Chain A
Amino acid sequence: MITLDKLSEFGADVKDGLIRCMNKEDFYLMLVNKALNDNRLSELEQQIYYKNYHSAFETAHTLKGMYSNLSLTPLTVPINEMTELLRNGTDTDYTALLEETKTQFRRLCEL
């Protein structure tokens, strides 16, 4: 079960995330759990695999908003980078960035 302490250990800026949730811990944890159940990271992987960069940008942009509002910093860093590359339709190797995101997402799920 995810707790604020575990999220801090994960590297999330819990204090920052809580402020956006009016310092309601339960509400914040509920939203983090929502993010954990979101499967759009897999969608993003597929879209990049098929080089559907326009859709990939939309997905990455959404994930970026979600992770950054929850202050899930370890996820925010790689997804931000991907979003900016995809915004310009950059045809590059996204493997490392995707792997980093997936790794951090797995870490979060394992908390």
Chain B
Amino acid sequence: MQELLERKQGLHRTVLIVDDEFIEREMLGAMLSGLYEIIYASNGMTALEIIKKKKKTLSLILLDFHMPVLDGYSLLKILRSDSELRSIPVIVLTSEKKAEVKSLQLGAADFISKPYEAPEVIQARVRHSIELFEDRIIIHDTERDELTGLFNKEFFFEYGKRLNNQNGNMPMDALVLDINRFHIINELFGRSYGDKVLKIIGQSIHELVRQTGGLACRSNSNCFGIYIPHMDNPKDHLPRFISMIEDNLDDRKISFRIGIYSDDGNALDMEQRFEHADLVCRKIKNSYTTCFDIYNAELHSKELHSERLINDMDTALSEKQFKLFYQPKYNISDSKPVLASVEALVRWYHPEYGIIPPAEFITLFEDNGLIRQLDNYVWNEAANQIKQWKDAGFNVPISVNVSRVDVFNPRLVEILSDITRSRGIDSENLLLEITESAYSDNAQQIISTVINLREKGFKIEMDDFGSGYSSLNMLCSLPIDALKLDMEFIRNICDNKKHLRLVEIMI
């Protein structure tokens, strides 16, 4: 590219004149020698040798058709069939009308008639052809991803829009292909292997687009966009394409997933189609069983709802739209149940959607880390409530959730201690529920955090026990104050003696 830019700035351009006639050769040379470096060849064979040697620096070939040894037609055919030489523009020198047409059909950039026109005309034709050639290369290099030869994202969308306009908005499907855990592939097998994988997938996509029509791009490091004419039954067609890529890759360690927006006649613009395809692709990111899926409106509606909730969260926190309800917990060891503590349950009073149950937003916030803000809010609200009850003469501990992401916050102990200290309440009144599944993530880390919390006086409860995969061995090593059995687990003890026996052992 640098070399090309320098040549484009007029620093160095070379023109090869191929003609067996001395007079015509010299005449052309005289017309062009002040503008370009001129090389001469008196037959096609000599010219071919020169072209192969100077293929990187030749800007143009002026080629006569009637020559001994190897004529101009044959040379032009050789050049056009060679992937390295075909990009050098050729202007054919001819005195015959028929040859003009034939030369253009063979891929010549232009022709110059004999006897020659005025030098200014020939110079202009030469300049024009060189500029077109250089601009084409620059555009090609700019519009394409160097590694795969596919379009880059910007040109892809530009050409895709043109395609839509030219084809009268023919139904088109959008596919997003993403390589799973590509950074791991690069780390484990090296960048060159990662590049090889990208190239093979790029070639497979080229092949698909060649068969179906349309266009494709590499949209980011490990993600590809494919825009092809609508397939009636994508579920029937996709496995064939997936098999082709897998066969070409020949490496079962590499997996990928494809999200598809199948044209449903809704006349969405190209960007929207790809947003939908990308949405599907992200949705199946962690699926081990599904490598492609198709967009549907229900999914979209759910996604929009989720996005809205995420966007509304800051306002909800500042406007205290999250309300805490307290579910009492009774000590039933005596004949008369005694209130032992309460569990804080959060509900979202959304100004538009009304009361939103936690199932709708907790998982969502856990996925994107927003849960830390919500937990913090709940801890503070619960602490305020403990303080209010304390001031009214009641000592009622409140259980609050500590999410998995909180456990890995190195400031967790400090944050919780500040909350209780600032309100003058005892740490033991804030009961911290940590879900069972968190313990299996990084047992050592969580044990360490729990020990620190307990040293500060907090009580720890393991939540949802029985829903995950905790071992009894782990249960013994965990410093916890209470075990909350999962509802589903308890529900089975009436019918299942094994469950009943297990619960008895644990208690």
Contact = CB atoms under 8 A, between A and B. Distances in A.
B109 to A, nearest CB: 21
A58 B71 CA distance: 12
Given A20-B116, A20-B119, A61-B66, A69 B31 contact: no
A62 B21 contact: yes
A21 B95 contact: no
A58 B342 CA distance: 107
Interface stretch (B22-30, B171-179, B497-505): B22-30
A34 B25 CA distance: 12
Contacts of B21: 62, 65-66
B202 to A, nearest CB: 48
A2 interface: no
Contacts of B22: 34
Contacts of A68: 95, 114-115
A22 B66 contact: no
B27 A69 contact: yes
Contacts of A20: 27, 31, 115-116, 118-119
A64 B21 CA distance: 11
A111 interface: no
Contacts of B20: 62
Given A58-B66, A64-B95, 18 more contacts: A19-B119, A20-B115, A20-B116, A20-B119, A22-B30, A22-B119, A31-B27, A61-B95, A62-B20, A65-B21, A65-B95, A65-B114, A68-B95, A68-B114, A68-B115, A69-B24, A69-B27, A69-B114
Q: Which 6 A-B pairs have the closest CB atoms?
A: A68-B115, A69-B115, A31-B23, A65-B114, A22-B30, A66-B23
A64 B31 CA distance: 20
Contacts of B119: 19-20, 22
Contacts of B118: 19-20
Given A19-B119, A65-B95, A24 B30 contact: yes
Label chain A's interface by main secondary structure. helix
27 contacts: A19-B118, A20-B27, A20-B115, A20-B116, A20-B118, A21-B27, A22-B30, A22-B119, A24-B30, A27-B26, A27-B30, A31-B23, A31-B26, A31-B27, A34-B22, A35-B23, A58-B66, A61-B66, A61-B95, A65-B21, A65-B114, A65-B115, A66-B24, A68-B114, A69-B24, A69-B114, A70-B23
A101 interface: no
B103 to A, nearest CB: 16
Nearest to B33: A22
Interface residues of A, number: 19
Interface of A: 19-22, 24, 27, 31, 34-35, 58, 61-62, 64-66, 68-71
A71 B115 CA distance: 8
A22 B24 contact: no
Interface residues on B, range: 10 to 19
A61 B93 CA distance: 13
Contacts of A71: 115
Contacts of A65: 21, 24, 95, 114-115
Nearest to B26: A31
Nearest to B115: A68
A78 B27 CA distance: 23
B26 A69 contact: no
A62 to B, nearest CB: 6
B93 to A, nearest CB: 9
B338 to A, nearest CB: 113
Contacts of B116: 20, 69
Interface in B2-54: 20-24, 26-27, 30-31
A48 B95 CA distance: 22
B23 A34 contact: yes
B21 to A, nearest CB: 6
B179 to A, nearest CB: 59
A77 to B, nearest CB: 13
A12 to B, nearest CB: 13
Contacts of A24: 30
Contacts of B95: 61, 64-65, 68
Interface in B96-125: 114-116, 118-119
A21 B20 CA distance: 18
A42 B157 CA distance: 65
A35 B115 CA distance: 15
